Amino acid sequence: MKIYSYNVNGIRSAVSKGLLDWLATEQPDVIGFQEIKANEADIDTAAFEALGYECYWFSAQKKGYSGVGVLTKIKPTEVIKGNGMQQGDFEGRTLQIKINDVLIINTYFPSGSSGDDRQSYKMQFLDEYKKWLQGVLKKNKKVIVLGDYNICHKAIDIHDPVSNKNSSGFLPEEREWMDTFFDLGMIDSFRKINANPHEYSWWSFRANARNNNKGWRIDYINTSKDLEPHIHHAAILQDAKHSDHAPVHLTLKF
């Protein structure tokens, strides 16, 4: 099963930059999009269906903001929009699909970089999300939480850990939350495969950051322990340039 996660920074913008051709080449079985920035009615779903995908979208109530989507070539047994977190659901941040006995949770975690109010909400979201996920893991053994977490976990995940130590996305309390997230029994699939530095999934539009690889690894496909033996390959696909993020990829073998 080839699973991808991609913050597209606007689904229609990404399509205009060649996303459909890229999908036709990569052929993911399942891909989770974050930050689609579109209402479902405004997305050309037929173009994705022509590639063999069933499409599921969960848009934010605020127009042109946030939102997530999942494309799958494997028919899901269950689809759940949201997770019961009131503000997170209002902002279209979580979409769950179940494929056989594997629960795939696509989440666009909040950014706190725009100010104190959003940073405060980010920490609230993280606290609520972890409590919710604990309940999910009690009921489901095979769980994947993919998406844009907006957090670098370790110093290896950011180009300049010293100057960014007080930056949202690399704050001590955010990194500590990631510790507790993995303590729930979740596995960082990319780091299980790849221990190399300078592997990033997001770059600022400023100062030619992408060409200089001054990036952050904030996009993840994390699995529960029951799926760890099935992790076959994981990668960041930095050559895909439809967004300020790169897609991340996981192959599971059963």
Distance CA 94, CA 2 (A): 20
Q: How many residues does the chain have?
A: 254
**Of the candidates 72, 45, 70, 71, the residue with the CA atom closest to the CA atom of residue 58:** 70
How crowded is residue 201: how many other Cβ atoms within 10 Å of its Cβ?
Answer: 26
Clarify whether 148 is annotated catalytic: yes
- Which residues fall within 8 angstroms of residue 243, CB to CB, at 6 or more apart? 6, 7, 8, 9, 10, 13, 14, 17
Choosing from 116, 127, 148, 244, the catalytic residue is: 148
**Tokens, residue 228:** 């760890």
Give catalytic residue positions: 148
